[in-house]
Amino acid sequence: MNIRQSRLGTFRRQTLEVAVADRRIGGRNPVLVQSMTTTLTKDIEATVAQTVQLARAGCELVRITTPTQTDAACLEEIVKQVRAQGVTVPLCADIHFQPAAAFEAVKWVEKVRINPGNFADAKTAYGFQKEFADSDYERGIQKISDKFRPLVKMARERGAALRIGSNHGSLSDRILSRWGDTPEGMVVSALEYLAVCEDEGFDQVVFSMKSSNPKVVLQCYRLLVERLATENRKPYPIHLGVTEAGEGRDGRLKSAVGIGSLLLDGIGDTIRVSLTEDPVLEIPVARNLVEACTRPFEGDLRDFAGGVLPLTGPAETSDPFNYQRRSSLPIRINASEIGASHPVRVGASAEESGEGKDRPVEWTDLGGSGFPLARVDLSEKAVPPDVSELVRAGIPVELHFLNAAALDAIRLLPSSNLYLASVAPSLGPWGVRSLCARLEKAGFRPPVVLRWDLDGTEPDLLRMSATLGGLLCDGYGDLVRISGPSGDAVELSYDLLQASGARRSKTEFISCPSCGRTLFDLVTTSARIREKTGHLKDVSIAIMGCIVNGPGEMADADFGYVGGTPGTVNLYVRRDCVRRGVPEAEAPDALVALLKEHGRWIEPA
């Protein structure tokens, strides 16, 4: 599948089908929803209970952390007890660092996930700064073959599936030495393992490319899909996820941006929404997200079982594999500059704007309270004659494009720097991309307004986040205008900008969803840290339950709060551990002290 065609809404990526017990991932099957237990795997009774609870809540695949061979051996009894209760949900073992655990787990479960960053390649004291000679690099590839091939053979013999799951921040030293901590490195790492599968004639493989940064998520999956296509490999199914998304609305927005925008582009066969909450609460969010992003937009003729919407027009100029803000000419509305290099703005009515940390642009259409901004709806007809009069009078004009055919009307517009352009949200993200491509082809670069009128439901909130958030991740949009019954549309707009990495207005929290490896209560701990640090505007803090999801998964964080040993916490500045073994009761205050030490602390107002 060509990614640029996908981004015009012309395809749902068709993949081969992977069997996981009585479920199917990929092919023409619906997007499968999964989650993960948070219990200690050795606590068989608790793990069985949570697995059954998840299945009865609608979870279609349950992943269980398997840190050691002893944990993997517990899977035999877990499977037996789950099946004894009439629950047939497939089970997946989650493996890090311990190939022996994978060999044990594949005896009992229907799917095994391995991380290419730590299955065969060991971490060294040199870290990613070590240079690998060509001979050493090739020996690393041979090591993968030696360690991974037996697992592939066992999976084939048992009829089990494998998930090759690369994680941003947990790549091997060997990959880091050549590729750095990049989407390219994540894809290369995964394809090294795929080569072993293909050499064994094994194709029951699912891929994932996870990060806590939605921009990285989008780039990784697109690169993987493109590499599979250009190298004439099989179209393996894709598992989508934003790892360490967090909790509450922030976690839902970030998940929708990273997962939903790919679903809208036809990529993705199974998903997990990772929230720092009870895992059962992930299921309705994931189901709503799938419904929101596989339901056609108004006028969208695509059938998500493989139909085609014939959108035509010039190719978009943005690079889907690398972030770059779309260039536009500036426009001034009152004291606010919109477009060009200015931050993405938030639009609001005079009643909504109020006072705050980031005062939004007051936004009232002509005929409201007299604020000088005219909105002109364009259809297939010519530009209304009053547009020229407005421009001559110096009144900013928002041109609202109702359909793709109306884009030809821009040739009739008088030349001026007084335009903003918006497209009807009902056309989906492809309408905005098509709009911008046509505007640029005509030499017309006004700032672009991303609008959405919420209906008050969670599916619509997720659909909005996926549509507008995905566009923001790709550099589209100079002003966001959300309206509807939420009551906090301005705050929601800023939250969306932050989830998309377009603009930060509050503390950025990166927190894992917990699992059997977690060394403290993540929900309680996250709440304590948010209470102490949530007023900081320009700081990112990672709250990680264990070393697996610690230094690797918090690749983008300024500071890290990571479970070290039971009852203790390790504190990080970027990737460097600066405090080890801090008693858990003292750790939140120690984190505040660390923020002060590095000049990142501001006293709350």
The confidence score (pLDDT) of residue 121 equals 84
**What average pLDDT does the chain have?**
85
DSSP string, 211-235: -SSHHHHHHHHHHHHHHHHHTT---
Q: What is residue 258's DSSP assignment?
A: I
Query: Are 21 and 130 in a shared domain?
Result: yes
Query: Are 42 and 104 in a shared domain?
Result: yes
First to last CA, the chain: 52
Of the three residues 469, 499, 529, the one that is the final residue of a domain is: 499
313 within domain boundaries: no
The confidence score (pLDDT) of residue 129 equals 54
Phi, psi angle pair for 358, to nearest 5°: -135, 90
Of the three residues 267, 294, 321, the one that is the final residue of a domain is: 294
Query: Are 347 and 215 in a shared domain?
Result: no
- Supply the range of the domain harboring residue 73: 3-294
Q: Read off the pLDDT band of 357 (50, 70, 90).
A: very low
Query: Are 480 and 519 in a shared domain?
Result: no
Q: Read off the pLDDT band of 43 (50, 70, 90).
A: very high
The confidence score (pLDDT) of residue 459 equals 95
319 within domain boundaries: no
Q: Which residues contact 152 (CB under 8 A, 6 or more apart)?
A: 162, 196, 197, 200, 202
Nearest to 452 by CA among 276, 253, 196: 253
312 within domain boundaries: no
Q: Read off the pLDDT band of 308 (50, 70, 90).
A: very low
Q: Which two tokens stand for residue 294?
A: 């596989």
309 within domain boundaries: no
Query: How many structural domains are present in the chain?
Result: 3
358 class by beta-carbon count within 10 Å (0-12 exposed, 13-18 middle, 19+ buried): middle
Buried b (16+ CB within 10 A) or exposed e, 274-309: bbbbebeebbebbbbbbebbbeebeebebebeeeeb
Largest CA distance in the chain: 78
Query: Are 250 and 353 in a shared domain?
Result: no
Domain with residue 564: its CATH number is: 3.30.413.10
Alpha-carbon distance values, 182 to 140, 149, 220, 232, 543 (Å): 19, 26, 8, 23, 22
Q: Could you give the CA distance from residue 104 to residue 213 in angstroms, rounded to a whole number?
A: 33
Q: Which two tokens stand for residue 344?
A: 């993405």
Query: Are 527 and 464 in a shared domain?
Result: no
Query: Are 516 and 462 in a shared domain?
Result: no
317 within domain boundaries: no
Is the pLDDT confidence value at 380 over 70?
no
341 against 54, higher pLDDT: 54
Q: Could you give the CA distance from residue 5 to residue 7 in angstroms, rounded to a whole number?
A: 5
Strands (E) across 222-373 are located at: 238-240, 270-271, 331-333, 336-338, 345-348, 361-362
Query: Are 55 and 196 in a shared domain?
Result: yes
Mean pLDDT score, 410-414: 70
385 within domain boundaries: yes
Query: Are 8 and 47 in a shared domain?
Result: yes
pLDDT tens per residue across span 340-351: 999 999 988 666
Query: Are 466 and 564 in a shared domain?
Result: no
Alpha-carbon distance values, 107 to 48, 50, 75, 103, 593 (Å): 18, 21, 9, 7, 48
Q: Read off the pLDDT band of 364 (50, 70, 90).
A: low
Is the pLDDT confidence value at 440 over 80?
yes
Is the pLDDT confidence value at 355 over 60?
no
Whether 469 and 261 have beta carbons less than 8 Å apart is answered as: yes
Q: Which residues contact 10 (CB under 8 A, 6 or more apart)?
A: 302, 308, 309, 310, 311
304 within domain boundaries: no
Domain with residue 121: its CATH number is: 3.20.20.20
Q: Read off the pLDDT band of 486 (50, 70, 90).
A: low
pLDDT tens per residue across span 510-564: 877 666 666 677 778 888 888 889 888 888 888 887 665 555 566 678 898 888 8
308 within domain boundaries: no
Query: Are 466 and 572 in a shared domain?
Result: no
Of the three residues 499, 517, 551, the one that is the final residue of a domain is: 499
pLDDT tens per residue across span 158-169: 999 999 999 987
Is the pLDDT confidence value at 473 over 80?
yes
Q: Which residues contact 43 (CB under 8 A, 6 or more apart)?
A: none
Nearest to 208 by CA among 186, 237, 235, 238: 238
Query: Are 142 and 256 in a shared domain?
Result: yes
Q: Could you give the CA distance from residue 437 to residue 303 in angstroms, rounded to a whole number?
A: 25
Is the pLDDT confidence value at 413 over 80?
no
Q: Which two tokens stand for residue 71?
A: 């944990």
The confidence score (pLDDT) of residue 362 equals 59
Does the global pTM surpass 0.85? yes
Q: What is residue 412's DSSP assignment?
A: G
